[in-house]
Amino acid sequence: MNKTIDIQALIDSKNGQVTPSIYTDPEIYELELERIFGRCWLFLAHESQIPKAGDFFNTYMGEDPIVVVRQKDGTVKAFLNQCRHRSMRVSYADSGNTKAFTCPYHGWSYATNGELIEVPLEPRAYPQGLCKSKWGLQEVTKVASYKGLIFGTWDENAVSLEEYMGDMAWYLDGVLDRREGGTEIVGGIHKWTIDCNWKFAAEQFASDQYHALFSHASAVQVLGAKPEDEQKALGSGQTPRPVWETAKDAIQFGQDGHGSGFFFTDKPDANVWVDGEVSDYYRETYPEALERLGEIRALRLAGHNTLFPTLSWLNGTATLRVWHPRGPNQVEVWAFCITDKNAPEEVKAAFERSATRAFGPAGFLEQDDSENWVEIQKILRGYRARNSQLCMEMGMGNEKIRDDGVPGITNYIFSETAARGFYQHWANLLSSKTWQEAKAKTDAYQNTLVENSKEVA
């Protein structure tokens, strides 16, 4: 790593400025693989994808291929999907069930607990003896689950998953804990690439409701169209008042690199992106959600979220996605449809349809977003563009600590508290040798925000 890069100089969260070379610089990208993806808790799989012993699911931590496997004793382990002989992938299928992983190159076999169990021609090829216990698959240092979501980290000094999530768990519970029985993944996973840096996607889902007004204007107009009688009552050519004008309140949350945004609504109707069956389902299950989550979260049927660094989801729309980095100029999106396990099958199918329609690879909202990111990445090929400061000042100094149960550092939904926090935490991780050092820097930044924040009822 070229030690001349001063990461902290590229992020000025106190004054709300960012230098966009952070989205293009190959050396910064290398450092991200080491210090972000090599250190943070990263989403691996949902428990429902690997229910039985021997079930496996292939994914990535950063660019490292990872196979997640259900063990005989019911626990979950994750391994680097790399043969210890010549680095070949040992597990190929996206997912499945197996007794062993056999490398297709020279045939070394590994048990589902990672042990090297079989080496072809072993006695003749290794007359001196081969210590097989030394050459098992490399195991992901820590694996932990939170309400069905399985995460892993390579950092033995990382804080616990719960501590890592912090107040963000409250927001995630709105999806994971609506109903008895928890959630499951429905159908397959959409996977596609976008020619942009991973941070555009992760930051937008953490912090950017602002773009929806403009980037999604046409979709909002089409989806907001009312049945004839309601339209008559409104007057011809009139559209209903948008949610940001009618909502009782609107909040952005940003802390420890995580971020979220949502409006307070007053009835349990799903947001405009989803099918009628999905809306009906939310109305029918509202009493249960109310009991489990309280009113604010039971009514929170729209909202954007990122758990730092790369797990994002949208309430109501049922899309949960991971942004796998693929070099500084590309991201591979993996989009899962997540629903309540106890939802009827036809409702699950409706969730899957609506998630695909809005946020699948050809989804009408997804397209609006990626169009922006791809164009920005092209612009940043320019030397001057890459080194010009970007404005990230929205809502600066207006942070609030609430006393209505919405936890953490918050702001009005149209602000960039979460974006500033995302990049500050990112810079702290890149410029620190240990997790603890990075966290101390992030805490210091946040303590200032808290001290200066306004209490609101």
Instruction: Pick the closer one to Fe ion by CB: 135 or 334.
Output: 334
Instruction: Pick the closer one to Fe ion by CB: 82 or 310.
Output: 310
Q: Where are the beta strands (DSSP E) in 256-318?
A: 258-264, 304-307, 311-314
Say which of 208, 256, 275, 340 is annotated catalytic: 208
Minimum separation from the CB atom of position 255 to Fe ion (A):
22
Closest CA to 120 of 130, 112, 111: 130
CA distance 314 to 242: 19
Report if residue 369 touches Fe ion, rule: CB under 5 A: yes
Report if residue 32 touches Fe ion, rule: CB under 5 A: no
* Beta carbons within 8 Å of 297's beta carbon, 6+ residues apart: 170, 173, 174, 289
CA distance 414 to 249: 11
86's contact among ligand FES, Fe ion, none, with CB below 5 to 8 A by partner kind, is ligand FES
Cβ contacts of 209-212, under 8 Å, gap ≥ 24: 209/244, 209/250, 209/252, 209/261, 209/304, 209/413, 209/414, 210/394, 210/414, 211/369, 211/372
Identify whether 208 is a catalytic site residue. yes
Identify whether 369 is a catalytic site residue. yes
- DSSP for 22-54, please give it: GGT-HHHHHHHHHHTTTTS-EEEEEGGGS-STT
β-strand partners of 207:
none
Say which of 46, 190, 369, 425 is annotated catalytic: 369
Instruction: Pick the closer one to ligand FES by CB: 83 or 320.
Output: 83
| Cα separation values, 174 from 143, 170, 286, 347, 414, Å | 23, 7, 12, 18, 21
Instruction: Pick the closer one to ligand FES by CB: 107 or 287.
Output: 107
Minimum separation from the CB atom of position 117 to ligand FES (A):
13
Minimum separation from the CB atom of position 221 to Fe ion (A):
15
- Residue count, binding to Fe ion (CB under 5 A): 1
CA distance 98 to 75: 16
Instruction: Pick the closer one to ligand FES by CB: 108 or 263.
Output: 108
* Beta carbons within 8 Å of 67's beta carbon, 6+ residues apart: 56, 57, 58, 59, 78, 79, 81, 90, 91, 101, 137
Identify whether 216 is a catalytic site residue. yes
Residues that bind ligand FES (CB under 6 A): 83, 85-86, 88, 103, 105-108
DSSP conformational letter for 293 = H
Question: Which burial class, exposed, middle or buried, applies to 47 when counting CB atoms under 10 A from its CB (0-12, 13-18, 19+)?
Answer: middle
Identify whether 190 is a catalytic site residue. no
CA distance 409 to 418: 9
β-strand partners of 255:
258
158's contact among Fe ion, ligand FES, none, with CB below 5 to 8 A by partner kind, is none
Minimum separation from the CB atom of position 137 to ligand FES (A):
11
Minimum separation from the CB atom of position 116 to ligand FES (A):
10
Instruction: Pick the closer one to ligand FES by CB: 132 or 341.
Output: 132
> φ and ψ at 365, to 5 degrees?
-85, -40
β-strand partners of 279:
none
Minimum separation from the CB atom of position 167 to ligand FES (A):
44
Say which of 106, 195, 249, 269 is annotated catalytic: 106
CA distance 396 to 53: 50
Asked if 427 contacts 7 with a C-beta cutoff of 8 angstroms, the reply is: yes
Minimum separation from the CB atom of position 265 to ligand FES (A):
55
> φ and ψ at 8, to 5 degrees?
-60, -25
369's contact among ligand FES, Fe ion, none, with CB below 5 to 8 A by partner kind, is Fe ion
Minimum separation from the CB atom of position 98 to ligand FES (A):
16
List residues with catalytic annotation: 106, 208, 211, 216, 369
| Site residues, Fe ion (CB under 5 A) | 369
